[in-house]
Structures are given as C-alpha cells and as structure tokens.
C-alpha cells in the first residue's frame, strides 16, 4: 500500500490522482447504468472522506480549497452557459423566465420560512440558507440531461433555471451574509448590494466575451487560429472573467462566466464544435474533483443533529415548493402533465450551495466574522442534507422518473418546414415525440415557432447545423423539402454522417423514385401518397378516417420482439397477455409480412404491428420490447 502521508506531509499528488481516478470511474459507471454521474461522484466523495477511508479531508487542501472550488465552478458554469443557445431558449421563453423570477422568489421565501419554523433558527441564517437553496445549477442538471433525452423545451427551461439561479443564489447569499452583522440594514441596502454584484459580473462577462470574439474573429495570426488555440483561449477567458469579477466584488465571478458563456455560445465563434467538445472533457474532470472533494467534507454528525426537523425541511423544499413553483412557471405553456411532474421531482442542488455554504460556515464559526457557531452548524448541515438527499434520490432516479412520467420521446429531425414538414411535425408532437424542424426561410421559421414547434433556422444540407439540431441523437431524420436534390443530399448526409436508425425522404417528382431507391433511400412519393389517400377514402372510408386520427384515440405501431420469454409462444398466447384494447395485426419475419393465424409461433426478432387504443398500444410496446 502506498502511504498517503509521508515525512513531508500529505502526498497531494497521489490524492489528486485518486480523486480523478474516482471521477473517471464514476463517469464510466454512469454511462453503463444510464444514471447521472453526480450520484456516483458524491458517493465516491463520502467513501474517501473522513467517515470512509479518510483519504480526503479538509486539512489536505487547507485554504486552497475555496480557490480550487471557485475556479472549478467557473469552468462548469461557463461550459453550461456556452451550450445555452438563443434558439433553445425560444423553446420555452415564458416558462424559463418565470422559473428564474417567480420560481426563484417562491423557493427563497418558502425555504426561509420552512427553516425558521422547523429548525427554530434566526431569520438571518434562515434567509441565508433559503438564498443558497434557490440554486439547482448546471453541475447537477447537465449530467441528468445527458442520460435523460427530454424534449428541447424541458431541457431549455431546466438549463436556463440552473445557470441563472446559480448566479442569483450566489450573489443573494453573499449580500445576506454581508449584511447579517450590519445594524439597521434596510431592504434598499440589500437590493443595492445585489444589483452592484450582478452588474459587475455582467459587465466583466461582456468585456471578456467581446475581447475573445475580437481576437478569434478579427485578429489574423501568421498561421491562423488553430482549434487548439481557440479552445485554450476560451478556457483562459472563462477563468479570467471569473477571477477579475470576483477580485472586484466578491461572488460576482459566477455572473461574469455565465454572461461570457451565453454571449460567446451565440456569436458564432470559429471552431465552436471543437471548443464545446474540449470544454466538455475539462468539465468532467473539474466536476469530478469538486464533487468528490466537497462530498468528503460532509459531517454526518451535523446532518444527524438536524433530526426529523431537517428531513421536514428537505420534504418541503423537494416535495412541496419545487412542484408548486414548476406548475406555476409552466402554466399556459405546451408542457405535458408528465413533463411538469418530471421537472417537479428533478431539482437537485449542486456545487454553488455546497461551496458557498462551506465558506460561510467556516467564517461564521470564527471571531473575525459575525461569530455564530450554532448558525454555522445549521447552515452547513441543512445545505448538505438537501444536496445529499436530492442528488441521491432525484439525480439517481432521474431516468426512472422520466420513464415513469413518459417524458423520453423519440427524437425526429425534419428538414423542411413547408406544408408537409409542418403537418408531420404537428402529428408527431401530438403523439408525444420530440420533433425539431430545420427551415431556411426566416419568416417560415418564425411562423413555426409561433405554433410552438422547435425550429432551427438554416440550410438543412449543412452537416454542422444538422449536428447542432440533434442529428447524432435522432432516431429518425426526414427530408421533407419541395426540392428532390436537397432531399437526396440530406438523406445521403444523414446516412453517411450520423448513425440514424431511419432516414426517409420526400420525392416530389415521380420519375425520381427509382433513382432514390437504387441509392438505398427510403422514399415517400407525394403523388403516390396522395393517390393512396384518395383510394382509401373511396374503398375503405372508415379505416381512412381512423388512420387520420392515429396517435390521438387510436394507434398502430410496429415493434420488435426482444423479450426472450415470448419466443415459441403463439399469437393467441400473446393476444391474451396484451393490454385490453389492442391486438397483433401483422407479423413481419425475414422481410415477409403476414396476417397471423392464432397458432403462429413467434420468434425472437419478429416485428409485430400492434393496432388498438393509443394507451393500450404503448403498454403493449413496453411489454413486447423491454430492451432499448
């Protein structure tokens, strides 16, 4: 065994290596079990902390921990805000705005009252904890959204709330802490101090982002900017923005990096994709370090001292206030009930409350600050208890919650927002799928947004735009423009660039169908589909009317049999176990389609067409196809 403490003191290098190793392991486990990495990170921190192996303790880092955490937070917040595109914000602007205003105010007031009532502490300490627990943050939301591919409107609302409320919580907490010792502080003094910190942070963020934009787009070097230089420059810019703002006014650095990230992520920097990928890798490292380091500092005696009163506070924060503020904030938007419930029960607290609470608890326990050891204990205990329980339960079970509330849709990318693309998008949206349209015409794109559809404006034959719109995560890509050449190019790009399960293209000229199919592209001929629809109205009007309502009252879905226990069972056996209101209408095997007899034996990998009521069909799919 390699000693962690030698003659010269703690072997810092080895401890950092252990933390990073645990961080990578946590990420691998998160990918393997498809749960947010923060769950494994916080458990790893507890394991190597004072109550575990005692590898990581507060004495290891000494006074440097605050600086390390601060720089880590700067990188994490910058990375999260860099991904927050204006187009994504348009998916749910009113909900995001209410979450960061009405939602934040309700969280602050409700949490403050709960702590004052249950823990019987002073109003100052209660308000300080209430301010800190406003924050969710990209440190916990981003890992959840990485494994739970919700609709864009849900992701946009949660990401915006996390980034903005991180800033709000950090600044508000500092203002309250600063004025705790002030005699006769007025509400105006609180407001002035808050605005001062926010303004400094926003100003520094704008200045740094303007400098970076100028350097990368206007300054010409002899060899030109390389992706590596662009990545390093933006990383340094984020750290400089945080450090400069925090040096001028304490805790304004978070606002600075959030501002710089949002601005730079939306101005079209060169090598933007490379910058995003690089920052994502760096974020994994610092996220691992800061979560494990802070989790190791959790004092379980302090948590236990809170007793049932502490659990009552967590219950109010997570089970009362969170659902209330989410439902208030999403009123009138196109969020489904399942999406509202998912957002209600996925609001874990993260790094900002943990790091700031640790700093304040240390200062409250010393004579140099407004000395209040009891308040320091309640502050640290309550914040860490909320973080621990919300991360473990809400973060750890986020995917299961998403499946329970049915908020993980199939992602469909439609190129072309004309009549065909719009009609298809509306039908898929009504059925609960996550649809993104790429439309080149600005007026048409705006009209589609006004209908509540997710739109990316630009050329659908641009690979980078396809990637930004979610081409890599899309299960289906549909080329639905009125130009066959464009549709063919889109289909070829999708099949050659992305690992997309299904690529379908609209064919406007009947003579082009054979050429498309020779290239292996699945086609829908406009003239043939129109003729087919008219023929159905003539020969089978009832079926035609029912087919136009698919996804509403009734549905038809094709599913692959992946439940080994169904192999060798007959169609009669399967129909008896299916939910009431649906039947197996068609069996496809070796590209042969047959209307099955009751005695037909199923085989693993058969494709079954299920017909019936919408809810029953979806239940049958889960039963027949339990594996992704």
Architecture of domain 553-624: 2-Layer Sandwich (3.30)
Pairing of strands 9-10, 5-6: antiparallel
Looking at residue 343, what is its pLDDT?
93
Cα separation, 433 vs 117, in Å, equals 44
pTM as predicted: 0.72
Q: Which residues of 590-628 are buried (b: 16+ CB within 10 A; e: fewer)?
A: eeeeeebeeebebeeebebbbbbebebbbbbbebbeeee
Looking at residue 108, what is its pLDDT?
94
Looking at residue 124, what is its pLDDT?
85
Determine the average pLDDT of the residues in 207-221: 87
Cα separation, 235 vs 229, in Å, equals 10
Determine the average pLDDT of the residues in 459-464: 86
Cα separation, 178 vs 369, in Å, equals 9
- Does position 370 have pLDDT exceeding 70, yes or no? no
Extract the runs of DSSP E, i.e. beta strands, from 192-263.
none
User: Are 465 and 438 spatial neighbours (Cβ–Cβ below 8 Å)?
Assistant: yes
| Crossing angle (nearest 10°) for helices 373-389 and 104-119 | 120
Looking at residue 3, what is its pLDDT?
45
C-alpha distance from residue 363 to each of 190, 229, 306, 421 (Å): 20, 40, 21, 59
Cα separation, 53 vs 42, in Å, equals 14
Compute how many other C-beta atoms are within 10 angstroms of the C-beta atom of residue 42: 27
Indicate the fold that domain 8-185+281-405 takes in CATH. Na+/H+ antiporter like fold (1.20.1530)
* Per-residue pLDDT band at 202 (split at 50, 70, 90): very high
The better pLDDT of the pair 495, 324 is held by: 324
Looking at residue 336, what is its pLDDT?
85
Distance of CA 50 to the CA centre of its chain: 32
The better pLDDT of the pair 93, 121 is held by: 121
User: Nearest to residue 393, comparing CAs of 431, 352, 348, 430?
Assistant: 348
pLDDT in tens, 6-55: 444 447 778 878 888 888 888 788 777 777 777 788 788 888 877 778 77
Which helix (H) or strand (E) covers residue 493, if one does?
Answer: helix 484-497
Show the tokens assigned to 413.
């990318």
Show the tokens assigned to 376.
């320091």
Cα separation, 36 vs 399, in Å, equals 8
Q: How many helices (H) and strands (E) does the chain have?
A: 29, 12
Cα–Cα–Cα angle for 466, 468, 474, nearest 5°? 65
Cα separation, 211 vs 430, in Å, equals 45
Lowest mean pLDDT: which of 198-212, 348-362, 466-480? 348-362
pLDDT in tens, 571-585: 888 888 888 888 888
Q: Which residues, 6 or more positions from 284, have their beta carbon under 8 angstroms from its beta carbon? A: 23, 24, 27, 37
The better pLDDT of the pair 323, 368 is held by: 323
Q: Residue 395 carries which DSSP code?
A: I
Lowest mean pLDDT: which of 68-72, 340-344, 494-498, 522-526? 68-72
Instruction: Work out the mean pLDDT of the chain and round it to a whole number.
Output: 81
Determine the average pLDDT of the residues in 203-207: 94
Extract the runs of DSSP E, i.e. beta strands, from 499-567.
502-507, 522-525, 554-560
153 in helix, strand or coil? Answer: helix
Q: Which residue has the tokens 């029912």?
A: 546
**Selection from 100-114, 120-134, 374-388, 531-545 with the highest mean pLDDT:** 100-114
Domain boundaries, the chain: 8-185+281-405, 411-530, 553-624
CATH top-level class of 411-530: alpha beta
Phi, psi of 562 (to 5 degrees): -125, 10
pLDDT in tens, 396-422: 888 888 888 888 877 889 999 888 889
Determine the average pLDDT of the residues in 93-97: 85
Q: Which residue has the tokens 């002899």?
A: 222
Looking at residue 8, what is its pLDDT?
40
Looking at residue 2, what is its pLDDT?
41
Lowest mean pLDDT: which of 172-186, 394-408, 498-512? 172-186
Q: Residue 181 carries which DSSP code?
A: S
Cα separation, 482 vs 415, in Å, equals 10
Show the tokens assigned to 286.
């610092």
556 in helix, strand or coil? Answer: strand
Cα separation, 335 vs 190, in Å, equals 35
Cα separation, 403 vs 620, in Å, equals 15
The better pLDDT of the pair 153, 297 is held by: 153
């Amino acid at each position: 065994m390699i000693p962690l403490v030698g003659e010269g003191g703690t072997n810092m290098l080895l401890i950092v290596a252990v933390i990073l190793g645990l961080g990578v392991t946590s990420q691998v486990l998160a990918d393997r079990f498809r749960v947010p990495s923060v769950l494994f990170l916080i458990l790893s921190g507890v394991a190597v902390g004072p109550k575990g192996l005692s590898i990581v303790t507060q004495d290891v880092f000494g006074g440097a921990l605050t600086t390390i955490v601060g720089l880590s937070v700067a990188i994490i917040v910058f990375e999260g805000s860099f991904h927050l595109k204006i187009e994504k914000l348009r998916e749910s602007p009113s909900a995001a705005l209410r979450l960061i205003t009405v939602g934040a105010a309700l969280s602050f007031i409700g949490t403050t009252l709960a702590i004052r009532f249950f823990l019987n502490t002073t109003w100052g300490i209660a308000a300080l904890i209430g301010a800190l627990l406003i924050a969710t943050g990209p440190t916990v939301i981003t890992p959840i959204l990485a494994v739970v591919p919700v609709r864009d409107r849900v992701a946009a609302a949660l990401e915006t709330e996390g980034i903005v409320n991180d800033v709000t919580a950090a600044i508000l907490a500092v203002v309250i802490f600063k004025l705790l010792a002030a005699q006769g502080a007025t509400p105006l003094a609180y407001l002035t101090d808050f605005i001062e910190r926010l303004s400094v942070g926003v100003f520094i963020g704008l200045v740094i982002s303007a400098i970076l934009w100028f350097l990368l787009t206007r300054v010409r070097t002899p060899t030109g900017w390389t992706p590596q230089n662009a990545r390093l420059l933006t990383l340094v810019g984020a750290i400089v923005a945080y450090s400069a703002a925090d040096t001028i006014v304490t805790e304004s650095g978070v606002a600075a990096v959030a501002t710089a990230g949002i601005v730079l992520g939306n101005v079209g920097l060169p090598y933007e994709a490379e910058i995003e990928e690089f920052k994502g890798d760096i974020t994994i490292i610092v996220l691992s370090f800061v979560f494990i380091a802070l989790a190791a500092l959790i004092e379980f005696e302090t948590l236990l001292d809170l007793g049932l009163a502490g659990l009552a506070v967590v219950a109010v924060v997570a089970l009362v206030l969170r659902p209330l503020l989410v439902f208030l904030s999403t009123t009138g938007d196109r969020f489904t009930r399942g999406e509202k419930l998912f957002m209600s029960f996925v609001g874990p607290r993260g790094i900002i409350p943990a790091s700031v609470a640790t700093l304040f608890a240390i200062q409250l326990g010393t004579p140099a600050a407004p000395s209040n050891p009891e308040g320091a204990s309640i502050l640290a205990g309550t914040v860490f208890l909320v973080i621990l329980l919300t991360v473990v339960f809400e973060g750890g079970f986020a995917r299961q919650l998403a499946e329970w509330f049915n908020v993980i849709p199939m992602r469909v990318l439609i190129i072309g927002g004309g009549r065909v693309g719009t009609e298809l998008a509306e039908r898929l949206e009504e059925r609960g799928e996550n649809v993104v349209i790429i439309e080149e015409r600005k007026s048409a794109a705006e009209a589609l947004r006004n209908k509540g559809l997710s739109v990316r404006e630009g050329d659908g034959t641009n690979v980078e735009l396809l990637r930004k719109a979610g081409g890599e995560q899309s299960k289906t890509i549909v080329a639905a423009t009125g130009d066959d050449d464009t549709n063919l190019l889109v289909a070829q790009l999708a099949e050659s660039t992305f690992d997309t399960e299904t690529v379908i293209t609209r064919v406007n000229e009947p003579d082009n169908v054979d050429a498309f199919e020779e290239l292996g592209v699945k086609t829908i001929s406009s003239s043939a589909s129109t003729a087919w629809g008219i023929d159905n109205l003539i020969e089978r009007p009832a079926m035609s009317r029912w087919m136009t309502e698919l996804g509403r009252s009734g549905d038809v879905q094709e599913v692959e049999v992946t439940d080994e226990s169904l192999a060798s069972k007959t169609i009669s056996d399967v129909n008896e176990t299916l939910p009431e209101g649906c039947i197996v209408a068609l069996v496809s095997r070796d590209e042969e389609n047959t209307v099955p007899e009751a005695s037909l034996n199923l085989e693993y990998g058969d494709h079954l067409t299920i017909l019936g009521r919408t809810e029953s069909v979806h239940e049958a799919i889960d039963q027949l196809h339990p594996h992704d």
